[in-house]
Amino acid sequence: MSLVALAGILLSLLITLTQTHLAHACAINNGCFNVLDGVVSENTPYESLLDINSSVVNNNPAAAIIVTPNVTPFGDFEETLLNEDNIGVYYHAGTWSIFNQDHTNIQQLSSFNVYATTDPKGSLVHTASAANISSYITYIDNPLTNNHPDLELFVTPNWSGAFDDHPLGVWYDGIKWSIFHEDLTPISSNESFNVAIKPKNSGKAFIHTATAANTSSYQTCINNPIVNNNVSLLLHVTPDWTTGPVYTNSNYAVAYNQFTNEWCIESINLKPIPVGTAFNVFSN
């Protein structure tokens, strides 16, 4: 279910919210063999928390959690419902949870891919402040990422007292990486973000660019041997303006197309994906 190494602890799991408010988590690369006791709590300021109950992240506030909605978690033609809200993660009472940034309940029968790491060389937590904010952009000043254009960054908001109900992207300005609001609204101080760091185009990390040939409305499909013909993968995506200088004003989910045996990226608000939009992608 997890790999423990000197570099840190890595976790890939999938969480599905059922009608009974139980969270099912499966280590997909080894088959769906474990049901976790995650429960959605509706007595919180966020109205709905989907708990991630795993020994890898429980009682571990230092874990960097990255979450991506998955519309096809079971690898068949029956899709789950898409949670169409911007999401974040929150650590409380020894537990990490997923929540909707607009305080609404998480969509029942929605699913999420979850990646967690405590690798100090592969993740960081960035907090926006007056010193690093420029309007809708917050700059990451960290030796792990400074002067490293050869990286792919993946981002999920980490609640630390401020909500961030906005679609996110990343951008490298020639020296520093940054996180920005795709809708160009200002970023507020004290907004925090979990950041996973992957070497560009290495291992199972790559860049996908939307073209007229691979994009239809709110979906762009990936034709890459790293992920083709493998419904069991857990993918994560973050728009990267560095490669594709296009604003998209949406966060994204993933879905597997069994007719073409390709993974696809979908805008959660169903807005058309502009041609030229680029995404950082990695899989388990």
Q: Could you read off the pLDDT of 49-67 as tens digits, one per residue? A: 888 878 778 899 999 999 9
Please list, in sequence order, all residues whose beta carbon lies within 8 angstroms of the beta carbon of residue 122, skipping any fewer than 6 positions away.
Answer: 7, 8, 196, 197, 198
Give per-residue burial for 199-209: e unless 16+ CB within 10 Å, then b: ebeeeebbbbb
Contact of 145 with 102, CB cutoff 8 Å: no
Residue, of 79 and 256, whose pLDDT is higher: 256
Query: What is the structure's pLDDT at 110?
Result: 83
Residue, of 69 and 220, whose pLDDT is higher: 220
- Span 77-105, average pLDDT: 87
Distance of CA 170 to the CA centre of its chain: 12
pTM of the model: 0.86
Query: What is the structure's pLDDT at 59?
Result: 94
Tens digit of each residue's pLDDT (9 = 90 or more) over 178-188: 999 999 999 99
Contact of 13 with 98, CB cutoff 8 Å: no
Query: What is the structure's pLDDT at 197?
Result: 96
Query: What is the structure's pLDDT at 30?
Result: 27
Ranges 78-82, 90-94, 113-117, 124-128: which has the least confidence: 78-82
Q: What ranges do the domains of the chain cover?
A: 2-117, 123-199, 205-283
Strand partners of residue 3: 10
How far apart are alpha carbons 207 and 200 in whole angstroms?
Answer: 8
Contact of 163 with 101, CB cutoff 8 Å: yes
Ranges 36-45, 73-82, 176-185, 254-263: which has the least confidence: 36-45
Note the helical H segments in the chain. none
Radius of gyration, CA atoms only, the chain: 17
